[in-house]
């Protein structure tokens, strides 16, 4: 069993739908990244959070460290949101060691 699990693995949506991607982890972490990887391969960091909630445009990320769970929400989804979304946990405060989920592939159709 992976230390970081994402669900669902694949997700299709119609443009405009509200989307939720979940990330659960079985080890202690100090913070969590959400990353976006487009079909061309480039990786962009969307959020890094250690508590509560962060919002950037149509993207919202939440984390509950005690429950070992994080969610990424996309409101009013658009075809350009089609990508692989990856969560990654930072193992502790004094290290840059990350453990990754295997990603959620999102396709948004017009």
Partner 1 sequence: EAQVTQNPRYLITVTGKKLTVTCSQNMNHEYMSWYRQDPGLGLRQIYYSMNVEVTDKGDVPEGYKVSRKEKRNFPLILESPSPNQTSLYFCASSGGLDRTSPDTQYFGPGTRLTVL
Which residues here bind partner 1, judged by CB under 8 A? 30-31, 33, 35, 41-45, 48-50, 86, 88, 90, 93-103
Of residues 14 and 102, the one with the C-beta less far from partner 1: 102
Q: Is 80 helix (H, G, I), strand (E, B) or coil?
A: helix
| CA atoms 8, 61, 29, 45: torsion sign | positive
CA Rg value for the chain: 13
According to DSSP, residue 81 is labeled: G
**In this complex, which beta carbon is closest to partner 1, that of residue 1 or of residue 93?**
93
Q: Which two tokens stand for residue 28?
A: 């202690």
Question: CB of 61: closest distance to partner 1 in angstroms?
Answer: 12
Tell me how far, at minimum, the Cβ of 16 lies from partner 1, in Å.
Answer: 29
| Length of the chain as a residue count | 110
Least distance in Å: CB of 81 to partner 1? Answer: 19
Q: Is 85 or 108 the residue whose CB approaches partner 1 more closely?
A: 85
């Amino acid at each position: 069993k992976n230390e970081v699990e994402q669900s669902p693995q694949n997700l299709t949506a119609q443009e405009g739908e509200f989307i939720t991607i979940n990330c659960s982890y079985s080890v202690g972490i100090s913070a969590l990244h959400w990353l976006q990887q487009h079909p061309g391969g480039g990786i962009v960091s969307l959020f890094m959070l250690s508590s509560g909630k962060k919002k950037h445009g149509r993207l919202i990320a939440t984390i509950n460290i005690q429950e070992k769970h994080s969610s990424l929400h996309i409101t009013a989804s658009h075809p350009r949101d089609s990508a692989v979304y990856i969560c990654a946990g930072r193992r502790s405060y004094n290290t840059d060691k990350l453990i990754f989920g295997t990603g959620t592939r999102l396709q948004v159709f017009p």
